[in-house]
Amino acid sequence: MSDDTAESESPTRYVESPIIMATVRVVAPFVFTFGLFVMFHGADSSGGGFQGGVIVGTVVLMLGMAFGIQTTREWVGPKLPVVLVGAGVLAFLLIGIGPVLLGGAFLEYHAYGVHHASKYGIELVELAIGLIVSGIVTGLFFVIAAGMRNSGGETA
């Protein structure tokens, strides 16, 4: 435990660990798939957009832990989390407004006239929520981690 705190006093140093890197490399695709499964399967089993979104966001956290947060942030880019969140809210709104344009009530999925419209509508909404949540988790992670270097002057 004292080793951890000794390290955290000089937080800018990133130590590569082959064990963690190899583990993350193997586990990450499965976690990502599981997150998508929870997101899409929320309609028929436990789970849903919120939980799935958090699990998908966790993949980025794992990558950050294994390959260095700075490297991962440069790879993901500063805009992607914000774009994800905005796109999720926009998608939710559009799914809701669609039936209004077709002469129904807000979020009245049946107005789409597709077979199983309600089921697909709910799944799309879950997906939109998943986008929002995964974007928020990723963005928070990068921003809080960036606070570890309080020297300033770096660009995102």
The residue ranges that bind another protein (CB under 8 A) are 1-2, 4-5, 8-9, 11, 38, 42-48, 50-51, 54-55, 57-58, 61, 65, 81-82, 85-86, 88-89, 92-93, 96, 106-107, 109, 116, 118-119, 121-122, 125-126, 128-129, 132-133, 135-137, 139-141, 143-148, 150, 152, 154-156
Tokens of 64: 């950050």
* Cβ neighbours, 10 Å, residue 30: 10
The region that residue 107 occupies, defined by phi over 0 for left and psi between -120 and 50 for alpha, beta otherwise, is left
Please name the residue ranges forming H helices in the chain: 2-8, 18-40, 49-67, 69-76, 80-101, 117-146
- The CA–CA distances, whole Å, from 110 to 66, 97, 127, 156 equal 46, 13, 19, 44
* Closer to another protein by Cβ: residue 22 or 90: 90
CB of 68 to another protein, least distance (A): 13
Which residue, 92 or 111, has its beta carbon nearer to another protein? 92
CB of 74 to another protein, least distance (A): 13
Minimum distance from CB of 3 to another protein (Å)? 11
Q: In the bound complex, what is the minimum distance in angstroms from residue 54's beta carbon to another protein?
A: 4
Q: Which is nearer to another protein, 22 or 156 (CB)?
A: 156
Q: Quick one: CA torsion of 45, 50, 53, 54, rounded to 10 degrees? A: -110
